[in-house]
Structure 1
Amino acid sequence: MPYAKYDGTDIIYNDKEELLKKTGINITDPILPPKNLIKLTGTLSEFKGIFCNAPLFDGAYMSKEERKKQKAKVRSGAALATLSGNSTAGLAALGHGDSIHRSNYFQAQYITAKLNNDVILKGWLGFYKFNDGDHVEVIAEKHADHYEVYAMLKPSEQIISIIPPCYAGRKHALKRYHIPLLLTYILFTMGLVYFFGDFTLDNLISAYFGVGVLYLPAILILYKNSINTHVKLAEQIFSTLNWQNIRNIDLISISKMQVKKLIDEDKYSLDCKDNTNLYIRPQKSGAGWYFFYYDPEMLCKKNNEDLLAKPDNITEIDTELGENLDDKRKE
């Protein structure tokens, strides 16, 4: 069976086409962006996961028309780069079409499950292994035949598995994304001059200008796209959970702090006897396969001025009450 065994030997399929060809299982791409997230709670059953690359980054949120407009901007940057002498970078920029580029693919887990034995769940999450019988909270959007899942939480262990690459609000996500890009630009350009030319101040300035004509606008475009796509989705998920100060949330840092706390309490073993640990608990570093520890006491405190109000269209549903889902949404 192609379903994940969580033993370190599972295949990560390149895309849904390869999965269909090799296993006969047909899965859907992520539905991005969601329009109306809601919170469900209940008991999990029939949980299955498959590891697969999926279009999840900025370009996956754009329509074909929006990708064409972005391509036009890249072409303009490529032309400027070519005029400034950076023909290699200019030609490279012209290679992107208006379809979703492979750089927008992330490794994720496609899951199917039921909530309270009747609510059908599908979606893309981190590699965390949920078990039948787990009491969970689910952030999802209703569709005709299922709920599309964007995050699933196991409150008993304070673990959240979330759609990649979401993990932080804008103040922390952009630091982690774009500071390394700027450092790469600085060091890469310096290396080019050092190894392939005379390492003089004039050559260094010219190189920074030549590479920067294309590279820096690309960083600005990525910055804007990130804010409007996966960072916005992360903040919507946090807001639907009624967490506070969502722009400042960084699940990597929070998870790392929680692991340290568990180690101090002798509740987190540093021994890794087999590969199953990779899928049943967050890593000591805080980073990993997009599932994290969270601290509800810290995240639910209303003690910061920089809070975002919970959108009016967000509804909370408790399926354990046994009432009709649609009726409760109207309420």
Structure 2
Amino acid sequence: MTTFIASPAADSPVRLSGTIRHYRVTRDTASFFFTQSDQSKFGAIAVAASLAGLGGQAMATAANATSLEEEADFVQFRIDGVELKGWLWRSPFKEGDVVDVAAEWRDDHYEVLGVVRLADRTIALYPHCTRGRRTHVKNAMKWWFYVSLFFDIGMVALSAMLNTPVVEYWTGAFEDGFGWFMGGMHVVIAIAVYSMTKQWMPFVRVAEKVFQTLGLPNPAGVDLVKWSKGKHKPEDSFEYGAMFFRY
């Protein structure tokens, strides 16, 4: 098993169009993003998100929290004799597909950043590249709201267990200093979500450039996770909507 330390970069991607030839794909592990400190943050928020009902997001986050390496597809193929290779989170493509590719030139090949199959508008990108800047920020705010709500509901449940009215409980809690602790916890959650939002920004910038290169409208407002809902096909693998998408 080979480990690749990868970092996203998309200074000037170009659009290549044609038919996939000599297609090869290898499922492998690589360290794309996370550090040890990120691991603990994601583990805590994954639990809260799961309890808040964000099943898909929680599953992906929990998977990321268990290891610093993630699985992805390393693809290699040719278009009109030009060699392309790179990482896609999950590649649903095959030999003979007509595609558009966003890629950057390296020393002897094009580095793949995103691929669209034109027939059914199926798209796969470099890992974690799923949203534009505006939708990324909106998604982070949703996470902050749900995780904060989870803690608040927990406190209301505690009040019910103690058979104490909520107002009375909180009044006493603030008198004892516990209320200030809970207020501090909300601040900690906000800081953690803000930190992760910033850490994802390199992927957001790459995603926007790929969206622009491939001709998707309003790159800052793209949300592939949301757009993929309702477009599932029977032949799609379970990663559809999380690792590859349709728009």
Q: TM-score, normalised by structure 2?
A: 0.70
* Alpha-carbon shift at residue 161 of structure 1 (Å): 1.2
Is residue 211 from structure 1 mapped to residue 185 from structure 2 by the alignment? yes
Q: What value does the CA root-mean-square deviation take over the aligned residues?
A: 3.4
Q: Give unpaired runs (5+ residues) of structure 2.
A: 42-64
CA displacement at 1:149 relative to structure 2: 0.8
Partner secondary structure for residue 15 of structure 2: strand
- Partner of 1:251 in structure 2? 224
Residue 198 of structure 2 aligns to a residue whose secondary structure is: helix
Cα distance in structure 2, aligned partners of 1:106 and 1:171: 26
Q: Which amino acid aligns with 2:14?
A: I
Match of 1:35 among 2, 5, 11: 11
Q: Which residue of structure 2 aligns with residue 123 of structure 1?
A: 86
Deviations 1:96-141 (A, max 9, x none): xxxxx9766443212122222x322221113233222222111111
8 A Cα contact 1:189 1:207, kept in partner: no
Q: Is the 8 A contact 1:123 1:148 kept in 2?
A: yes
Pairing of 1:131-150 with structure 2 (within 5 A):
131-150=94-113
Change (3 A) 1:175 1:104: farther
Match of 2:46 in 1: none
Query: Which residue is equivalent to 1:224?
Result: 198
Which residue in the other structure is 2:244 paired with?
291
**CA deviation map 1:173-212 (0-9, x unaligned):** 3333441243213423653786599773125522323323
Give the CA deviation at 1:160. 0.8
Q: Which whole-Å CA distance do the structure 2 matches of 1:190 and 1:293 have between them? A: 36
Distance (whole Å) between structure 1 residues aligned to residue 114 and residue 128 of structure 2: 12
Identity rate of aligned residues, in percent? 25
Show the counterpart of 2:237.
Answer: 278
- Of the three residues 138, 147, 168, the one matched with 1:175 is 138
Q: Which residue of 1 aligns with 2:115?
A: 152
1:238 is matched with 211
Task: Give aligned pairs, total.
Answer: 211
**Distance change >3 Å, CA 129–CA 185, structure 1 → 2:** same
Question: 3-state DSSP class of the match of 2:237?
Answer: helix
Q: Secondary structure at the match of 2:228?
A: helix
1:163 and 2:136 equivalent? no
Counterpart in 2 of 1:184?
Answer: 147
Off by >3 Å, runs of 4+ in structure 1: 101-107, 192-199
- Which residue of 1 is the match for residue 62 of structure 2? none
CA distance 1:115–1:29, change in 2 (3 Å): farther
For the 8 Å contact 1:190–1:204, the answer to whether it is kept is no
CA distance in 2, matches of 1:35, 1:242: 17
Q: CA deviation at 1:162?
A: 1.3
- The one-letter code sitting in structure 2 at the alignment partner of 1:54 is A
Distance 1:153 1:128, change over 3 A: same
> Residue deviations 1:158-179, cap 9 Å, x none?
2111122112212223333441
Task: Go from structure 1 to structure 2 and tell me whether the alpha carbon gap of 1:206 and 1:135 turns closer, same or farther (over 3 Å shift).
Answer: same
Partner SS state of residue 188, structure 1: helix
Query: In the aligned structure 1, how far is the partner of 2:155 from the partner of 2:67?
Result: 24
1:70-89 map, 5 Å: none
What is the DSSP-based 3-state SS (H/G/I as helix, E as strand, rest coil) of the residue aligned with 1:179? helix
Cα gap change, 1:185 to 1:112, in 2 (>3 Å): same
Task: Answer whether contact 2:10 2:209 (CA < 8 A) is retained.
Answer: no
Paired residue secondary structure (1:278): coil
